Amino acid sequence: MKNRSLVSIDDFSTEEMIKILDLAEEFEKKPVRKLLEGKVIATLFFEPSTRTRLSFESAINRLGGKIVGFSDSATSSVSKGETLHDTIRMVSSYSDLIVMRHPMEGSARFASEIASVPVINAGDGANQHPTQTMLDLYSIRKTQGTLRDLNIFMVGDLKYGRTVHSLMMAMSRWNATFNFIAPEELKMPDEFKLYLENIGLKYYEHSDFTDIISKADIIYMTRVQKERFSDPIEYEKVKNVYVLRNSMLKNTKPNMRILHPLPRVNEIHIDVDSNPKAYYFEQALNGVFTRQAILCSLLGIK
């Protein structure tokens, strides 16, 4: 994987994904290693994303690498009108690898074609966020012991949520069964359902939470965002339908874990936090190990 970029989750073969997950496991056992000593990593955040940036910077720091970059385009040359093309050309001569978050879709692919160093996409608009998918896979494998034959429930905004689309596509490699729980306005788009039908995987759609979640191995929660609704009344109607409460977890499987890409608003009630099935905070920590593994793989260090 040396000198490759990671723009889209499909850039990795199944074997490469497994290799990254195995490597992330090693980093979980021993997170502090000076593998990036002498390396400079650029973190270019053209739009703010505190969580993702801190996770990357924590990963880089634990590996002994140095960071250059910016966390908001208002403080960079972009505010002077510099094109993305020129910024990337310049930064690739200052660094060994570029981590980039940008509001425009396709910006990461474009950057990877210009840069002379590997580019890691840390989110390009609503398009891709592959390191999130890798940490989701890591969390699923760690809690379930396998990625194969699992029953994955996805809840909330399944229409616009890029994390659920990428995770669904990735998990489809391991014979998953999917259950989609979403309001009419935010249902899983047809192109993804068609994809599942074409490769012969089962999926079921539901409009609300019922006892059906007793079958789940993973419940992947997402935020239902107010701004997605053209009619505010529709939002008011559904906003409390997709809230997970501790009382609803009674009949769920012992191995079941609840994941959420965070930040959450009200879709997981805080009374769930103390339930051992709540896994979203550990999930965030797994992001550091996974990103350590991805950084080292693309730099050809591991």
Q: Which residues bind other proteins (CB under 8 A)?
A: 8, 83-85, 102-107, 109-110, 124-128, 191
Cα–Cα distance between 122 and 129 in angstroms, integer?
6
For residue 17, how many C-alpha atoms fall within 13 Å in the half-sphere facing its CB?
A: 23
Closer residue to other proteins (CB): 103 or 263: 103
- Going by C-beta distance under 8 Å and a sequence separation of 6 or more, which residues neighbour residue 151? 176, 177, 179, 215, 216, 217, 218
Cα–Cα distance between 35 and 33 in angstroms, integer?
6
Q: How far is the CB of 121 from other proteins (least distance, A)?
A: 11
For residue 256, how many C-alpha atoms fall within 13 Å in the half-sphere facing its CB?
A: 20
Closer residue to other proteins (CB): 8 or 139: 8
β-partners of residue 257 are 218
Q: How far is the CB of 104 from other proteins (least distance, A)?
A: 4
Closer residue to other proteins (CB): 113 or 208: 113
Q: How far is the CB of 47 from other proteins (least distance, A)?
A: 12
Q: How far is the CB of 225 from other proteins (least distance, A)?
A: 16
Contact 225, 151 (CB under 8 A): no
Residue 221 Cα distances to 71, 155, 218, 228, 261, angstroms: 27, 5, 9, 17, 8
Q: How far is the CB of 194 from other proteins (least distance, A)?
A: 12
Closer residue to other proteins (CB): 89 or 264: 89
Closer residue to other proteins (CB): 107 or 297: 107
